[in-house]
Structure 1
Amino acid sequence: MRICRLCNNCALRFRNPFMTSTKGAPSSSRFPLWLLICASLTAIAPLSIDMYLPSFPALAADLHTDIGQVQLTLGTFLVGLAIGQAFYGPISDRFGRKPPLYVGLTIYGAAAAGCAMASTVDSLMLWRFLQALGGCTGLVVSRAVIRDRMEAHESARAYSSLMLVMGLAPILAPLIGGAVLAASGWRAIFWIHCGAAVLLLWFVHVRMEESLDVQRRRTLHPVAVLRSYWELLRDREFLGYSLAAGCVQGGMFAYIAGSPFVLIELHGIDPSHYGFVFGANAFGLIGMSQVNTRLVRARALDDVLRVALFAPCVAGLVLAGTALIGWATLPVLLVCFFAFLSGLGCITPNASALALSHQSHRAGTASALMGTLQFGFGTLAGAAVSLWHDGTALPLAVVMAVCGSGAVVLRLYGRAGMRQRSQSAT
């Protein structure tokens, strides 16, 4: 028996951590409603990024600018995602998980309407930045809600379910965006974002229960908030596992930034076929995230993570080595990209669960800092590939190798912190 954290008067029998009901019996649903809402909140970021990518040429023509300026609207969105998460964490630890969602989704919806009515690329950049500041609340709160309701092993399985959504979004979003673009123009894409915000607000208000007890809420005093962030940065377990996931995500952002040039320009893949490569890698990520839900049932999270990290590490090193000696053929690239990105399906859920495993007293703040660090790594890795553009595959290969190898080292740092905590507890 375990006492439900949402209600002091009821008890839930956790035969399956994904299937709970207020009557104590497992639900027949594969995913409980609260986890579906969390998955929808998590999907905001990839849908906001990938859905409008097919509209770049139409955006440039309509706003009388070039593609480079339109691409900057994506960069401002990523910066907003990285910065905004740091603010919502402490707020959610003080006022609960639902109030920040009300604020964030309202900002996201209003900014999406602003994007739809933008008349210049500069105003679009501003609205996209504000849209990210609002949308990132879903990333922070969804992780915090899972940590509120589940322990480490259970939360790893829940995060794997979120990875299913994160993997499907890059496949479906460009297709949806392309269809909407053809039917109604690029502005309709942002009106859909606005409508999605309104729908999610309704679900959060009506169907999502508050997961943070009043007794566990923390002060919002600036000194206390800064102290919490400082303590988290000094926590080797939290920092090591957070950055291990961040490094691998950095490799993914490097792939997103550099693979179009490497595959289309260098190796002659037809642009219309590039989406199939992108989709195949996303399916690999989805498949491994579902394999992970089975692996963690009988194995320690860190053991699964240790093995999974070999995939991006080896794939990155092979990429760098073959690029240096001129053997980075198309088959080598495709296999290495697939191995690297598929590994995220096991790495991100387990590293996130381990990073937050001892942060239940400040899950929102910890989730926010973890997200900021990971998106920060991703932004730096993508920028490194773009700035180090030399007309070859070497910049992408080296950045992915550094990210994959760095994740292995940072996991060891987190593991050392875990042992230190265990020794202190005994």
Structure 2
Amino acid sequence: MNPDAATLWRRPRSALAALLACLGMLGAFSIDTYIPAFSGIARSLDATPVQMQQTLSAYLFGFAVMNLFHGALADSFGRRPVVLWGIAVFTLSSLGCALSQTVGHLIFFRLVQGMSSGASMVVGRAIIRDMFPPDEAQRVMSQVTIYFGVAPAVAPIVGGLLLVHFGWHSVFVFLTFVGVVMWTLSWRLLPETLHATQAQPFHPAHLLKGYWEMVSSPRFLALALASGVPFNGMFLYILSAPVFLGDLLHLPPTHFFFLFLFTIGGIMGGAFLSGKLAGKMTKGRQIRIGFTIMFTIATINLLLNALFTAQAWWAIPPIGVFSFGWALMVPVVTLLVLDQAPLRRGMASSLQACIGSVANAFVAGVISPLVMHSTLHLALASLLMSCIGIVAWFFVRKGVLAGEQA
């Protein structure tokens, strides 16, 4: 924690949480806002389905690769410069997407957009731990999770409205505007939270040593898996939504919002409770309760789908309960990940984000296509995701929570 933290931010804690959450939402908005415009972009640019998929793949590739470096840069040059440069590049690349006349240009600018959009999310986590002691940091992280949970629900609605009324170019004009607003707010409000005594040398040997210490640490890797993999227990339902909701549950598109309503409601409710429990419940117990909720509801969901033909009224709510359990424990586990490297919290946040991105990409590209055509298979995959997180947490809980009842 920065020893001068008390003098760096004098506004309400919720204001800093809101700023960091908005910064972290750039990535979600970059994906979810333009997805409704897929068909419109394809017609306008005469792009094939494969080329359109490349606009998403390029973004995800750039996002995952650069997540490895945003934090290391912030550990050396400061949190504020990395955030400001990241938003600036994001804004320019969004404008480039809006002005693209060929699908090749769009793929290139989407790659650059992905490379830059993760900076504020990765560095934002490190800023929270720079500024607040553990219990207070948990409350702020929970508030960030609440705000962040709104993005996946709001972004497609915004993108759809812009597409219908102004065309697909307006989606990226909107993202450009968002980038300008966030850069301005960050330039005016965001303090430099990396203390001068905690800055790390930006030298290849030093960086490689730091990366190696983390990737060779079973404790760090297990915590990163415990925080990132269970998310996919609900995320695969989002990825499979058109088939799950339309083909399997026979819901019309106008009712698809029910899935997002339960999912986002669960995330916001779990994150809210996590913040309320900070300092009142041991970390080990809170994490255990979160995993218990996920495992229990995933098991019930599997049994129901094995015994009965899925109906929307009982098949969707378990996803919301699962989301609640994940959001209850993830702020705590995320902070434990950062505390594994007190002098390299930016790098730790980078690696955690990279591991999460790789897990998400694997689920999106491999798992979801395999299981989306069966509610039973979806339920089984969701249960397995929670089990991976439970096993990872069980492996390290005693060492991480030394001195605290796990």
Q: Which amino acid aligns with 1:252?
A: M
Aligned partner of residue 164 in structure 2, secondary structure:
helix
Q: Distance between the aligned counterparts of 1:335 and 1:78, measured in 2?
A: 29
> What is the aligned partner in structure 2 of residue 102 from structure 1?
84
State the distance in 1 between where 2:370 and 2:157 align: 31
Distance 2:294 2:107 in 1: 33
Quote the Cα distance in structure 2 between the aligned partners of 1:347 and 1:132: 28
CA–CA distance in structure 1, aligned partners of residues 377 and 105 of structure 2: 32
- State whether residues 83 and 133 of structure 1, in contact with CA within 8 Å, keep that contact through their aligned partners in structure 2: yes
Q: How is 1:22-421 mapped onto 2 (pairs within 5 angstroms)?
A: 22=10, 29=12, 31-32=14-15, 34-67=16-49, 69-324=51-306, 327-388=309-370, 391-419=373-401
Aligned counterparts of 2:373 and 2:50: Cα–Cα separation in 1: 18
Between the aligned partners of 2:358 and 2:73, the Cα distance in structure 1 is: 21
Shift of 1:303: 1.2
Amino acid at match of 1:276: F
Deviations 1:123-168 (A, max 9, x none): 3222212101101001111001001111222211111111112111
**Deviation (angstroms), 1:36:** 2.6
Q: For the residues of structure 2 that align with 1:5 and 1:362, how far apart are their CA atoms?
A: 16
Q: Compute the displacement of 1:53 (Å).
A: 2.2
Q: Is the 8 A contact 2:243 2:372 kept in 1?
A: no
Question: SS at 2:276's partner residue?
Answer: helix
Unaligned runs of 5+ in 2: none
2:192 partner letter: E
User: What is the number of residues matched between the two proteins?
Assistant: 404
Q: Name the aligned partner's letter for residue 333 of structure 2.
A: A
Contact 2:18 2:143 in 1 (8 A): no
Residues 140, 371 of structure 1: 8 Å contact kept: yes
Q: How far apart are the structure 2 equivalents of 1:90 and 1:30?
A: 26
* Separation in structure 2 between the aligned mates of residue 262 and residue 63 of structure 1, nearest angstrom: 30
TM-score normalised by structure 1 residue count: 0.88
The C-alpha deviation readout for 1:182-227, integer Å capped at 9, x for no partner, is 2211111111211222222222222211000111100121221121
Give the stretch that moved more between structures: 292-301 or 247-256. Answer: 247-256
For the aligned residue pairs, the C-alpha RMSD in angstroms reads 2.4
Unpaired runs of 5+ in structure 1?
13-19
Q: Indicate how the Cα distance of structure 1 residues 60 and 275 shifts in structure 2: closer, same or farther if over 3 A, else same.
A: farther
Give me the whole-angstrom Cα distance separating, in 2, the residues matched to 1:388 and 1:209.
46
Contact between 2:240 and 2:372, CA under 8 Å: does it hold in 1?
no
Moved more, 354-363 or 154-163: 354-363
Cα distance in 2 for residues equivalent to 1:412 and 1:90 = 29
Q: What's the CA shift for 1:96?
A: 0.6
Residue 44 of structure 1, CA deviation: 0.6
Tell me what 1:5 maps to.
Answer: 3
Judged with a 3 Å threshold, the aligned counterparts in structure 2 of structure 1 residues 380 and 132 are, in CA distance, closer, same or farther, namely same
Identical aligned pairs, as a percentage? Answer: 26
Code of the aligned partner of 2:261 = G
Distance across 2 between alignment mates of 1:74 and 1:341: 25
Residue deviations 1:65-85, cap 9 Å, x none?
A: 345543442333223222211
